[in-house]
Amino acid sequence: MSYSDFKTLEQINSELGIVIKDENKLYTHIEPLKLSQLFVEIMKVAFDLAIKIDTEMARQSFIVDNVLIELKRHVDISCG
């Protein structure tokens, strides 16, 4: 199966036997960030487009790129 065939965590568990344990407290000390309203509004449209187009390129362009741009607003990440 390809990555895009999996739709839920339950499906991953039943088909691959992978159990996701959420008791790991590794990042509990990190406070959640407030997302910009612009990011939230863009993602409402971008996610729907990515799902409708249904290609890896669309998901990268509409979802991943926008997440990285929002991340850059909050964390000093390298751009090259």
- For 37-57, b/e burial (b = at least 16 CB within 10 A) is eebeeebeebeeebeeeeeee
20 vs 60, residue with greater confidence: 60
The Cα–Cα gap between 67 and 27 comes to 19
Distances (CA, A) of 60 to 7, 41, 43, 48, 79: 17, 17, 12, 13, 16
Every domain of the chain and the residues it spans: 3-74
pLDDT digits (tens, 9 = 90+) for 5-52: 888 888 888 888 887 777 778 888 888 889 999 999 999 999 999 999
Q: Mean of the pLDDT values across residues 65-80?
A: 85
What does pTM read for this prediction? 0.61
pLDDT at 6: 80
Q: Has residue 80 got a pLDDT over 70?
A: no
